[in-house]
Amino acid sequence: MRNLVSVAVLALDKKQLRALLAVAIGVLLLAGIVAIYCWRAGRLERSQDKAIQAAARRYGVEPALVKAVVWRESKFNPKARGRAGEIGLMQIQEDAAREWASAERLNNFNHEQCVDPATNTLAGTYYLRKMLRRYASTDNPVPYALADYNAGRVNVLKWKTGMAATNSAAFIEQIGFPGTREYVRSVLERCEYYKAQIPAYR
């Protein structure tokens, strides 16, 4: 067998050997780039765990859900800014931030403070808990809360009719904005992904 391999190698000329070597080096470089990307992505994904866990504990919200919202809203970038003035990890609007600050009796609160990951996740999780409680009479309040978080209560009330009033699966199908429907589905899917990694995210 060794002789056959030797013969095959000898049969290749220098040009072919160089080409094979170039391909091998290319494959190794690509594998290295992919490994570095995966490592960095994983590190980024864990970068806000402390703030997420603290907010989830404080307001009694599933940490995997909070993390999934952070993933969708900002991809874990605390400096993210939205077109409508949203700030930070959970893309908090000023009215929602001020409502949280008032509930927590924080004096001299400024919306810009939501750039801070801890402040942002506290305000966002407080607001998310409010949405979850709003739809507590449904079979699963999470899709309703996410749709509300993304598109507002007025739109949710338009879609929350018939079976969709209490049946979350029917509600998702009835969401009138394709972008919001995709938002809800993607956050639910990501939430399940993070739940599978618990207790790491508790």
Tally of CB atoms within 10 A around 88 = 28
Mean pLDDT over 79-87 rounds to 95
Mean pLDDT over 46-73 rounds to 96
| Separation in Å, CA 10 to CA 7, 16, 29, 30, 66 | 5, 11, 27, 28, 61
Mean pLDDT over 45-58 rounds to 95
Mean pLDDT over 73-99 rounds to 96
Using alpha carbons only, give the angle 20, 25, 30 rounded to the nearest 5 degrees: 125
**Torsion sign (Cα): 19, 25, 27, 33:** negative
Q: What is the pLDDT of residue 30?
A: 65
Cα(90)–Cα(75) distance, rounded to whole angstroms? 9
Mean pLDDT over 162-184 rounds to 98
Cross-strand pairs, 81: 87
**8 Å CB contact between 201 and 64:** yes
Instruction: Name the amino acid, one letter, at 199.
Output: P
Whether residue 124 is predicted with pLDDT greater than 60 in this model: the reply is: yes
158: Cβ–Cβ under 8 A, 6 or more apart, which residues? 176
Cross-strand pairs, 92: 87
Whole-number average pLDDT of the chain: 88
Whether residue 5 is predicted with pLDDT greater than 50 in this model: the reply is: no
Whether residue 1 is predicted with pLDDT greater than 90 in this model: the reply is: no
Q: Above pLDDT 70, what percent of the chain?
A: 80
Q: Look at residue 177 and give its three-state secondary structure.
A: coil
Maximum C-alpha span of the chain: 83
CATH number, domain 48-195, options 3.40.50.300, 1.10.530.10, 3.40.50.2300, 3.30.70.360? 1.10.530.10
Catalytic positions, please?
Answer: 73
**DSSP readout, 43-101?**
HHHHTTHHHHHHHHHHHT--HHHHHHHHHHHHTT-TT-B-TTS-BTTTTB-HHHHHHHH
The most confident of 19-28, 29-38, 122-131, by mean pLDDT: 122-131
Q: What is the pLDDT of residue 196?
A: 87
Q: What is the pLDDT of residue 38?
A: 47
